[in-house]
């Protein structure tokens, strides 16, 4: 059992409980999606604000605080397989409130029904449509959504001048070869077996996973928008997120980068349980607001 320092007693208790639960086979995707929605429904709702569900460029979206500028296009996490507008509603509301922006959350197509590049295509189409009239736009995302957001920014480079990329615990290396995947892939809520299975659904061709088309650790990052990249010490995706931040610096892209000590993957979803997770998300939100103000 891992003995690493955990950020607070509440998170340590949650991890002990999760580690005590036996893994029983491989759950069906439908069951995993329902469980994800149930966990989200049990969390504290986000701040009250106007929202509108609609369609942009043929893609379902939920728009928070319509009419404000700039616009942040948000791509949710969930391993490219789970997650939707409802699972991330509270998280997106906090982002919209903290940054005083309009946020457009994208209900992109998910694997296994729709493997790569469907999610990135959807993100690109939404961002391009939102920015078509000169509206200032940034991208944001967590986990798998962080990779979708960054890949969309790469594809739109030279066509859309994005203000920022705001990423929490981003997946940056679809090969899943960085040391933290093995070191933190058991006992810290995000399991390495699930990671590899979901990545196989999204990118069935292993040859593509290490290519510049999908890996932020291989792609040319010249001209990417300024970034906030926050990772977590006990996240299997920590090393690749840290490496992405480093590559942005090497490409002369302004970056605010921090690895949150003692925390786990996608810590904003744990703010009801862990005061340390809540404080870390607040730091991310402050950084995001500051970067957007500076732009």
Which positions are annotated as active-site residues? 143, 235, 265
Contact at 8 Å (CB) between 217 and 247?
yes
* Tokens linked to 188: 């810290």
Rounded Cα distance between 237 and 178, Å, is 8
* Tokens linked to 212: 């510049």
Rounded Cα distance between 28 and 183, Å, is 26
Judge if the upstream peptide bond of residue 229 is cis by omega within 30 degrees of 0.
no
Containing 209, the helix (H) or strand (E) segment is helix 206-209
DSSP string, 15-35: HHHHHHSPP-S---HHHHHHH
Instruction: Give Cβ neighbours of residue 245 (< 8 Å, ≥ 6 apart).
Output: 227, 229, 231, 255, 257
At 62, is the secondary structure helix, strand, or coil? Answer: strand
C-alpha angle 77/80/83, rounded to 5°? 50
Please state the length of the chain.
295
- Quote the radius of gyration of the chain (alpha carbons, Å): 18
**Torsion-angle region of 83 (φ positive above 0: left; ψ -120 to 50: alpha; else: beta):** left
Rounded Cα distance between 293 and 295, Å, is 5
Strands across the sheet with 71-75, in order?
A: 51-56, 59-64, 102-106, 71-75, 137-142, 165-168, 227-232, 255-260
């Amino acid at each position: 059992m891992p003995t690493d320092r955990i950020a607070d007693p509440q998170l340590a208790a949650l991890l002990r409980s999760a580690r005590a639960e036996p893994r029983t086979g491989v759950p069906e995707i439908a069951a995993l999606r329902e469980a994800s929605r149930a966990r989200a429904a049990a969390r504290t709702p986000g701040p009250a604000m106007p929202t509108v569900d609609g369609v942009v460029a043929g893609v379902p979206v939920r728009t928070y605080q319509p009419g404000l500028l700039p616009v942040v296009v948000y791509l949710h996490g969930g391993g490219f397989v789970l997650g939707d507008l409802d699972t991330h509603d509270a998280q997106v509301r906090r982002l919209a409130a903290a940054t005083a922006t309009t946020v457009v959350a994208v209900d992109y197509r998910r694997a296994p029904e729709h493997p790569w590049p469907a999610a990135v295509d959807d993100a690109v189409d939404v961002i391009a449509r939102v920015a078509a009239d000169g509206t200032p736009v940034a991208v944001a995302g967590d986990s798998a959504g962080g990779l979708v957001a960054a890949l969309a920014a790469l594809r739109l480079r030279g066509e859309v001048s994005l203000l920022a990329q705001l990423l929490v615990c981003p997946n940056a290396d679809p090969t899943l070869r960085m040391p933290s995947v093995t070191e933190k892939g058991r006992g810290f809520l995000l399991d390495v077996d699930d990671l590899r299975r979901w990545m196989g659904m999204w990118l069935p061709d292993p040859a593509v996973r290490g290519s510049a088309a999908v890996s932020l650790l291989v792609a040319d990052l010249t001209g990417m928008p300024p970034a906030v990249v926050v990772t977590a010490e006990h996240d299997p995706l920590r090393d690749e997120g840290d490496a992405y931040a480093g590559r942005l610096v090497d490409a002369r892209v302004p970056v605010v980068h921090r690895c949150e000590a003692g925390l786990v993957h996608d810590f904003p979803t744990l703010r009801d349980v862990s005061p340390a997770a809540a404080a870390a998300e607040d730091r991310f939100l402050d950084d995001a607001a500051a970067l957007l103000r500076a732009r």
